[in-house]
Amino acid sequence: MNTEYFTIEKTASFTYKEKGSSFIAFCYPVQDLDECKKILNDVKKEHAKATHVCFAYRIGQDGTQFRSTDAGEPSGTAGKQILGQIDSKQLTNTLVVVVRYFGGTLLGVPGLIQAYRSAASMVLQLVPVVKKMVEELFTIHFNFNQMNEVMSVLKQHQVRVVNREFQLFCKWVIAVPIQKTDALQSKLGDVLKTDSVLERLSD
């Protein structure tokens, strides 16, 4: 099982021109399919007069959810090329959109492949690649007066707090790097005086 993955955290745009056609590429960090859909809808509204709006994305810490589309371009000339550039950098949680404005001259299949591939490649070169740890979500329960000790342990193990419920008896959702799960379970067990601390959230 992989313990880390690569992604981007910034957006960028780049315009590639070929024989009068403009290929405007955008890249976005995304977390799920709903976020992809929203961004795509926004791009399509902003570029309503564009000839084609092609895109590809790969999402999930394991990168298993992906899609690409040619959006009316000849099969394999656009979406496949965009996804190929995402994959060449081993990225996930990444969406790349390439908007084409036709310039009056047909590029042919080789020309389209080159244009979409280049536009996607160049826009991804504008943002840094970030390495992140694969995480799992758990819930933890503890008394309010144990909060300082719990927070100290979470910080030591690079754990993100996703959701907090502050009551006399607290319930938090945390994202734990998978390689730190056992150590965190042991340390929290010592602090909270119990063997069963982490409750894995079901998918």
Q: Please, where in the chain does CATH 3.30.230.30 lie?
A: 4-131
pLDDT of res. 202: 60
DSSP state at residue 196:
-
Distance CA 66, CA 123 (A): 19
Closest CA to 125 of 134, 115, 117, 133: 117
The DSSP annotation for 15-75 comes to: EEEETTEEEEEEEEE-SSHHHHHHHHHHHHHHTTT-SEEEEEEEESTT--EEEEE-TTSST
Q: Are the beta carbons of 170 and 147 closer than 8 angstroms? A: yes
Strand partners, 54: 98
User: Per-residue confidence of the chain (203 residues) as pLDDT tens digits?
Assistant: 688 999 999 999 999 999 999 999 999 999 999 999 999 999 999 999 999 999 999 999 999 999 999 999 999 999 999 999 999 999 999 999 999 999 989 999 999 999 999 999 999 999 999 999 999 999 999 988 899 999 999 999 999 999 988 778 899 999 999 999 999 999 999 988 876 678 887 64
Give the pairing of strands 65-69 and 135-143. Answer: unpaired
pLDDT of res. 92: 97
Span 4-131: which CATH code? 3.30.230.30
134-200 is classed in which CATH architecture? 2-Layer Sandwich (3.30)
Burial code (b: 16+ CB inside 10 Å, e: under 16) for 128-156 equals: eeeeebbbebbbbebeeeeeeebeebbee
pLDDT of res. 65: 96
Alpha carbon 146 to its chain's center: 34
DSSP element (H, E) containing 179: none
pLDDT of res. 75: 97
Q: Is the dihedral of CA 140, 200, 6, 10 positive or negative?
A: negative
Total residues found in the chain within this entry: 203
Q: Please, where in the chain does CATH 3.30.70.240 lie?
A: 134-200
